[in-house]
Amino acid sequence: MFSEGKELKMLLEELFNGEVKIPSLPEVFYQFKKAVDDPDSTFEELSRIIGNDSGITTHLLKIVNSPFYGLSSKVETISHAISIIGSDQLHDLVLSTCVLNKFKNIPSKALEMKLFWEHNIACALASKIISSHLNIGCPESIFVSGLLHDIGRLVISINIPDKFNEIFLLAQMNNSHLLVAENKILGFGHDEVGGELLRRWKRVMLISGV
């Protein structure tokens, strides 16, 4: 997959142009995004699109009914959720749920998935709380950013697990941050990998007209 003589300087392009496993976002997300951007769309139409995917519907309702949102009554339908939290916030939750669903069952010998997602969800919640408290940015968008901030590390661990193990061991041995070890071994960090992944998803959205 990688050229010889580049063991310590693998290029980011090589990772993505090789046989890299990158799940695409599901079609339901693109349909939902297109509907959200259409000012003539109704709550019923948005609900119908999401309702076509039972897995996403279940996860969304779990999130909306979590203590974090502190709603006084239980939300049982997507249309009810939209009427309470709004379509813009629901868009961010749909994106988060789609990403979680796409990556949750991917086997990775180099990364403990449960701990990975617990960390990212904790970062997402903390980021949103800080954003709301300081009145900086859009809390819902910042929530998604917190959720996805380590997505590049997942891509690395899935596609080049041996290198990921080297990175982890080097970081432990030098008592350094994983990002430092990534740049030492790969020539780039998981932040750049995550950025490239999101750019590719964005290009697909533009091509799809959403």
Is 143 in the same domain as 198? yes
- What's the pLDDT band for 167 if we cut at 50, 70, 90? very high
| DSSP conformation class of 109 | T
- What's the pLDDT band for 2 if we cut at 50, 70, 90? very low
**Rounded distance, CA 147 to CA 2, Å?**
30
Q: Where is the domain boundary, 83, 105, 127?
A: 105
Stretch among 58-62, 76-80, 135-139 having the lowest mean pLDDT: 58-62
Query: Which of these, 181, 161, 159, lies nearest to 8 by C-alpha position?
Result: 181
Is 34 in the same domain as 13? no
Stretch among 38-47, 97-106, 178-187 having the lowest mean pLDDT: 97-106
Report percent pLDDT > 90 for the chain: 7
Structural domain span for residue 94: 24-105
pLDDT of residue 6: 47
Is 207 in the same domain as 128? yes
pLDDT of residue 4: 40
Residue 1 has pLDDT above 60, yes or no: no
Q: Where is the domain boundary, 105, 125, 145?
A: 105
Is 170 in the same domain as 200? yes
Is 141 in the same domain as 170? yes
Is 18 in the same domain as 115? yes
Query: Which of these, 21, 17, 101, lies nearest to 55 by C-alpha position?
Result: 101
- What's the pLDDT band for 174 if we cut at 50, 70, 90? very high
- What's the pLDDT band for 129 if we cut at 50, 70, 90? confident
Q: Average pLDDT, stretch 127-142?
A: 84
Q: Are the beta carbons of 132 and 140 closer than 8 angstroms?
A: no
Angle at 46 between CA 41 and CA 50, to 5 degrees: 160
Is 114 in the same domain as 209? yes
Q: What CATH number is attached to the domain comprising 149?
A: 1.10.3210.10
